[in-house]
Amino acid sequence: MPVTTAKVLFFGRLKELVGVSEDVFELRDGTAIEQIFAHYAARCPQLAAFRSSVVASRNREFACWETPVHSGDEVAFLPPVSGG
């Protein structure tokens, strides 16, 4: 499996917990969004605590946790939205 990269974005309180708004993540093509989250959650236990209220997106569409990520994809982890 070739190693490639994807862009990972954090917003709201997740951004503050992780300490960055944007990161480049090295992955094997087809890695699930869940595994990317687990990578950051391992480094930041507070992030892990938010898992059940986090929604993910891939390329600006809401995506389920099993969604495979490919080279150049943009993955974002979104806390509950509070616009309006």
Partner 1 sequence: MKKMSEANDQRKALHDPNDHKDRVELTRSRIVAESYVDHVRTAADGAIVTFDGCVRNHSHGRRTLHLEYEAYEPMALEKMREISMQLHEKFAIDRVAMVHRLGRLEIGETSVFIAVSAAHRAPAFEACRWAIDTLKRTVPIWKKEFFEDGAVWAEGELPPPPGAAPSAKSAS
Q: List strands edge to edge, sheet with 22-28.
A: 22-28, 3-10, 74-78, 55-58, 61-63
Judged by DSSP in three states, 10 sits in strand
The interface mask with partner 1, positions 15-34, x = CB under 8 A, is: --------------------
Distance CA 63, CA 14 (A): 17
> Is 84 among the residues that bind partner 1 (CB under 8 A)?
yes
Taking CB under 8 A as the criterion, the residue among 30, 51, 53, 71 binding partner 1 is 53
Site residues, partner 1 (CB under 8 A):
9, 11-13, 53, 55, 57-58, 60-64, 67, 76, 78-84
